[in-house]
Structure 1
Amino acid sequence: MSTTITTLVRQHRDCDEAIEQVEACVRAKDWDAAAGAFARLEFALQGNFSTEEQRLFPAFEQAVGFSNGPTAVMRHEHDEVRGLLDNAREWLELKDVAALAAELDTLVVLLQQHNVKEENVLFPMCQAQVKGLDTLLADFASGPAAHP
């Protein structure tokens, strides 16, 4: 597996851990900590999405000659995640434990399914099709997303 793909997979795991932190803070009703954990989650997801949408997906689309395939599906799912984050942020601001927990549960399921598709289908396709993948993405996927 390429260094870049390994980094992207690690970013997925970092996002999973960030969601767990948000959930733990919400269960404890520590709203300040929950807000901080949520900000870290958003930052980590946006960093991962940016790397994929600005570099990985265009490189793959150029290599294969079309953009209506798996990258279109992944972009759509990124948009769905962004919508769930917007909803979750509102529930967090309202301190609605039940609604926020439900929104986070939906987010977890969507991200699990999304990450499986990227890691088991799209990333291997990118490795096979995109020449110089690690060089192309070196400045974007240089490690786990930094905390805000």
Structure 2
Amino acid sequence: MSSIPDYMTVKHRECDDTFAEAESAVAKNNWSLAKEKWQLFTTDLDLHFEAEETILFPQFEKATGIIAGPTQVMRSEHEQMRVLVQGLNKALSENKKDEFLGLSDTLMVLMQQHNMKEEMMLYPMSQQHIPMELDILKQLKEHCEAVLN
């Protein structure tokens, strides 16, 4: 993965896959597997949001001078997703299948729309505008690996 769009898109897919595994486990009433997969998903999601909000977005804003633009929208959508995750956490902790699945459908739609905006617009713009000497990709990878280790 030699570019911001490539690396961050792979991270999106990893989150999506774990999310789908958790959702499938809930649908089958396999609560222990659901909780295990959900914990992995929320950890990855938090890590991804943190990498964007503390590394990528500030560098994009600095490089472009665009502050009240795509990064502002992305941060707002992150907050919307965090609220949904809280509701999902509660539903999962109480083994409320229908509530979880209803909220998970909403979260999935929001994530898909959000990811498309980042993958088609923000990530390519970041790759184009952030100076190469900052090696933003290395910073993103180091952040993710440092937290996981």
Q: TM-score, normalised by structure 2?
A: 0.90
Question: Contact (CA 8 Å) 1:7, 1:144: kept in 2 or not?
Answer: no
> Is 1:131 paired with 2:131?
yes
Question: Contact (CA 8 Å) 1:35, 1:92: kept in 2 or not?
Answer: yes
Question: Contact (CA 8 Å) 1:26, 1:34: kept in 2 or not?
Answer: yes
**TM-superposition CA deviations, 1:39-78 (whole Å, max 9, x none):** 0010111111111111110001001113110000000001
Cα distance between partner residues in 1 of 2:89 and 2:76: 20
Report the CA distance between 1:96 and its aligned residue: 0.8
Aligned equivalent of 2:71: 71
Matched to 1:81, the amino acid is M
Matched to 1:119, the amino acid is E
Cα distance between partner residues in 1 of 2:6 and 2:48: 12
Alignment of 1:81-100 (within 5 A): 81-100=81-100
> Is 1:57 paired with 2:57?
yes
Higher RCO structure, 1 or 2 (CA under 8 Å, sep 6+) = 1
Q: RMSD across aligned C-alpha pairs, in angstroms?
A: 2.2
> Is 1:107 paired with 2:137?
no
Cα distance between partner residues in 1 of 2:133 and 2:31: 41
**TM-superposition CA deviations, 1:80-120 (whole Å, max 9, x none):** 11111000000001111111000100010000000000000
Matched to 2:10, the amino acid is R
Unaligned runs of 5+ in 1: none
Aligned equivalent of 1:41: 41
Report the CA distance between 1:136 and its aligned residue: 2.4
Q: TM-score, normalised by structure 1?
A: 0.91
Matched to 1:86, the amino acid is Q
Provide runs of 4+ in structure 1 moved above 2 Å: 1-5, 139-148
* Total equivalences in the alignment: 148
